[in-house]
Structure 1
Amino acid sequence: MKVIVASLPKCGTKTLHKCLEILGYSVADYDHHCTDYREEWKNILLYGSTKDQMRRLYKDIDAVCDFPAGYYWEEIAEAFPEAKIILTMRRDENEWLRSYKNEEKLFSDSWLLALCYVITPTGRKLREHFRRLGRVVYGCPEQGIFSTMKQPNAQLMKRKYREYNASVLSSCDKQRLLHFHLSDGWKPLCRFLQKDVPAQEFPHENKNGELASSMWDVHVCVKMRREFFIILAGILVVVGCCLKVFLLW
C-alpha cells in the first residue's frame, strides 16, 4: 500500500483514481470494496478492524480510493505506515451535497437498476452494504438507494462532511498528507508522490455524476444485470409452461 485517498465520495475520487492509474498504481475503488472485499468490509463495519486484517486485505494493492476504505484511512494508514494520504474537498459543503444528491437521483431513476437491486442476489447484498455504510458514515440507519438517500437529511450530512474533513486535517501526520485541489493539476500531486509529470492531460472523471450514465459497464452492475436476465428468463419459462399446461387442460 502506497497511497490512501481519504476523500469522501463526490470529492474527486474518480479523478484521483484515474490519476493514480496513469501514474502506475494499482487502485482498489468502491467497486472492489463492494464485491471482492465485501465480506471483509461487512465484518469491519460491524465489529471494527485490526492492523493485521487491513494488511491482509490490501497487501497486493498500491492505492485505495472511495468508500468504505477512504473513511477508514486511519486504520489503513496504521497498517501501512509508509503510505501517503491524499485529501480532496469540494469548494463548500452545499456544492458537495448537491453533487451527491444529483448522482443518487441519476442512479435511483433507473428502473432496471432498481429491479436489479430488489430481485438479484448481488443487488440485495449491495443494498445491505449501502445501508451499513450509511449508518456508519452518516448516522442514518436506513440510508441506501431505496430509502433516505432519495431525500437525505441535509443538515446531518453537511455536519458529517465538515466533521470528517476537519478530523483528517487535524489528526493526520502533515508529512504524510497532501491536501490536494484538483484544479492545481499534475504538479503538486506528482511532487508529493515523487513521480514525473505525465504528458497526458489531467483527467476529470464523473463530472456532474456522469458515471451513472455508464454504470452498466462497472463489474458489479454487469453481474447484477446478468443475474436479472437469468431470473427473468426463468420466470418466462415457468409462465410459458403454465400457460401450455393450462391450454392443454
Structure 2
Amino acid sequence: MTLSVIGTGVGRTGTYSLKLAINQLGLGPCHHMEEVLRNMPVQVPLWSAALGGRPDWEAIYAGYGSAVDWPTAGFFRELLKAYPTAKFILTHRSPENWADSFGETIYTLLASRDQAPPDMKDWLDMATGVIAKTGFPEGLDRDALIKAFNAHNDAVKDTIPARQLLVYQVKDGWAPLCEFLGKPISSEPFPRTNDRAEFWERVAGKI
C-alpha cells in the first residue's frame, strides 16, 4: 500500500474531519496524530528518526493509504519526493481563529509537557520538534502564530504542483473534496468533529 492522499494542513484546521471523510471515501486507512498516540512504541521512534533526517516512510505508513495532520504536515517537502504522484490537500481556516484554537489546545499541551506522565514524554518531545520544524517553535505570541500559519500555507502552495494540490476548508463539505479525489459525492453527512472540548477529551484518554 502506498499513500495516495497527503494532508499538508496543520492541526486545528479540520484535519480530524478530513481524516474521517477520506476514510468514508474508501481512501484510508488515514494516518493522523491519533494513530501515533494509539501506537506510540512503534510510531514515536519512527517519527523521531524522521525528525532527525532518517525517515522510513514505508514503516511509518505501513497499512495506511492516506495521511493528514501532524506529524505528516511537517514533512510535505520530503513526502512530495517520496510520493510524487500523490494528491495533496491543504486544509486551512481563518488565521486568527486558527491561532486562537491552536493556542488553547496543542500549544498549551506542549507548553505544559513537563507535567505530563513519563510515558508521554517521548511523544510530546517528538510532537514539539515536528511542530517547531513546521514553523511553530515554542514561545510565539498570537501575531507570530498567525504569521507562521500564513507562511506554512504559502510554502505548501509554492512547493506542491497546483495540479496535485487542493486548498480546502472542511466547511465546504464533500463537493470540492470528491471532485479533487475523483470520487462520487457522498450522500452521508460530512463529518464535523474535534472541537476544542473533544481535543482535550481525546488527549485525556492518553494523559
Q: Larger deviation: 56-65 or 74-83?
A: 56-65
Q: Give the CA deviation at 1:124.
A: 1.8
Q: Provide the residue aligned with 1:133 in structure 2.
A: 130
- For residues 26 and 129 of structure 1, do their structure 2 counterparts lie closer, same or farther at Cα, with a shift above 3 Å needed? same
The question of whether the paired residues in 2 share the 8 Å contact of 1:106 and 1:209 is answered with no
Paired AA for residue 30 in structure 2 = V
What percentage of aligned pairs have identical amino acids?
A: 21
**Corresponding residue pairs, total:** 200
The question of whether the paired residues in 1 share the 8 Å contact of 2:134 and 2:152 is answered with no
Q: Give the CA deviation at 1:206.
A: 1.1
- For residues 176 and 209 of structure 1, do their structure 2 counterparts lie closer, same or farther at Cα, with a shift above 3 Å needed? farther
Q: Which runs of 5+ in 1 are unaligned?
A: 225-249
Question: RMSD of aligned C-alpha atoms?
Answer: 2.5
The question of whether the paired residues in 1 share the 8 Å contact of 2:13 and 2:93 is answered with yes
> Residues of 2 paired with 1:178 and 1:105: CA distance?
26
Q: Which runs of 5+ in 2 are unaligned?
A: none
> Residues of 2 paired with 1:88 and 1:204: CA distance?
14
1:107-126 paired onto structure 2 within 5 Å: 117-118=116-117, 120=118, 122-126=119-123
Flag the structure with larger Rg. 1
Cα deviation per residue 1:144-193 (whole Å; 9 max; x = unaligned)? xxxx4xxx432332222111101111221111111112222111111111
Answering whether residue 164 of structure 2 is matched by residue 176 of structure 1, we say yes
Q: Provide the residue aligned with 1:42 in structure 2.
A: 48
Q: Provide the residue aligned with 2:192 in structure 1.
A: 204
Point out the structure with the larger helix share: 1
The question of whether the paired residues in 1 share the 8 Å contact of 2:77 and 2:159 is answered with no
Q: Provide the residue aligned with 1:4 in structure 2.
A: 6
1:1-249 paired onto structure 2 within 5 Å: 1-24=3-26, 25-33=28-36, 35=40, 36-46=42-52, 48-49=53-54, 53-91=56-94, 93-104=95-106, 117-118=116-117, 120=118, 122-138=119-135, 140=137, 143=138, 148=139, 152-217=140-205, 221=206
- For residues 201 and 56 of structure 1, do their structure 2 counterparts lie closer, same or farther at Cα, with a shift above 3 Å needed? same
Cα deviation per residue 1:4-33 (whole Å; 9 max; x = unaligned)? 010011111011011011112111111334
Paired AA for residue 38 in structure 1 = V
Paired AA for residue 135 in structure 2 = Y
The question of whether the paired residues in 1 share the 8 Å contact of 2:74 and 2:133 is answered with no
Paired AA for residue 127 in structure 2 = F
The question of whether the paired residues in 1 share the 8 Å contact of 2:14 and 2:169 is answered with no
Q: What is the SS of the residue equivalent to 1:138?
A: coil
TM-score, normalised on structure 2?
0.84
> Residues of 2 paired with 1:14 and 1:70: CA distance?
13
Q: Larger deviation: 14-23 or 98-107?
A: 98-107
Higher RCO (C-alpha 8 Å, min separation 6): 2
TM-score, normalised on structure 1?
0.71
Cα deviation per residue 1:93-145 (whole Å; 9 max; x = unaligned)? 2111011122248858x9xx986x23x3x2121232233234323353xx3xx
